[in-house]
Amino acid sequence: MLAGTGPLPGDIVAACEKSGREVFILAHKGVTDPDVIGSTPHEWVHLGAIERTIALLHEHRAEEVVFAGPVKRPSLTSLRLDSRALKLMAGLRKNDDASGDDKLLSMIIGELEGEGFRVVGIDSILPGILAPSGMLGALSPDDEAQADIAVACRVARAVGALDIGQAVIVQQGMVLGVEAIEGTDALLERCRDLRREGPGGVLVKLKKPHQEARVDLPTIGPETVEGARAAGLKGIAIEAGGALVIDLPAVIAAADEAGLFIIGVSSGNP
């Protein structure tokens, strides 16, 4: 497992232990939470140490590789790129203007597959983690919220196509905020102050159109519901089959209690 931030790496470890599957963690300095790793076999590596990452995967006879938990792209200087990573970045710089992560992640996956590892999606280990379609909790969006969802889906697809971000907040047809590098929690927090009087808005998170589905899928968890409630939103729409829900029962319970809807929508047909 290549471990990012948040609790997902721990969930993967638990699922592997339950199924009797061996797991080895490549933890990333300044990214992975040490508490989540606990006593699971692991090594700490810099994000930019691709040569060492591949050597460790071979050494531990990895067959499948899973990316778990998001990684915010840090500055190039703090990545500590090794020679192999530099070669990858050089290819990226030539073919792309490097505005986002999609190309870079695709190239890293290509390197891993070239070494004989199978890169699998997180849902192959945690089958229930992908957002289902339709209402997840007790509530459903009213007509106004449905209109806001439609606007937000259109905007999210467009900003996603530019590899900028995955989340958009729309209220009464107005785009209150677009996520770039700050993350959804920060987006929700600023929309507390930006919200207009009257009916509340919606948060929409969609997979970016060109996004590698095995890494960095849009994610919500109980804290996303809390942030949406605090921002006065009516609910959250996520891409069915294209977004991760961390702790679905807790998300549903929090949403029902807060009076928010959670809906899994198709990106093509919101």
Which residues are at the interface with a second copy (CB under 8 A)?
73-78, 97-100, 147, 150-151, 154-155, 158-159, 162, 164-165, 170, 172-178, 180-182, 186, 190, 194, 196-198
Smaller CB separation from a second copy, 76 or 138: 76
Least distance (Å) between residue 174 CB and a second copy: 6
Least distance (Å) between residue 154 CB and a second copy: 7
Q: Of 156, 133, 111, which Cα lies nearest the Cα of 263?
A: 133
Smaller CB separation from a second copy, 74 or 259: 74
Least distance (Å) between residue 163 CB and a second copy: 8
Within 8 A by CB and 6+ apart from 92, the residues are 98, 103, 104, 107
The CB-side HSE value for 114 (13 A sphere, CA atoms) comes to: 8
Smaller CB separation from a second copy, 165 or 221: 165
Classify each residue of 152-168 as buried b or exposed e, where b means 16 or more C-beta atoms within 10 Å of its C-beta.
Answer: bbebbbebbeebbbbbb
Smaller CB separation from a second copy, 55 or 76: 76
The Cα angle at residue 109 between residues 108 and 112, in degrees rounded to 5: 90
> What is the spatial distance between Cα 184 and Cα 195, in angstroms, rounded to a whole number?
16
Least distance (Å) between residue 100 CB and a second copy: 7
Smaller CB separation from a second copy, 164 or 250: 164
Query: E strand or H helix at 205, and its extent?
Result: strand 202-205
Least distance (Å) between residue 130 CB and a second copy: 27
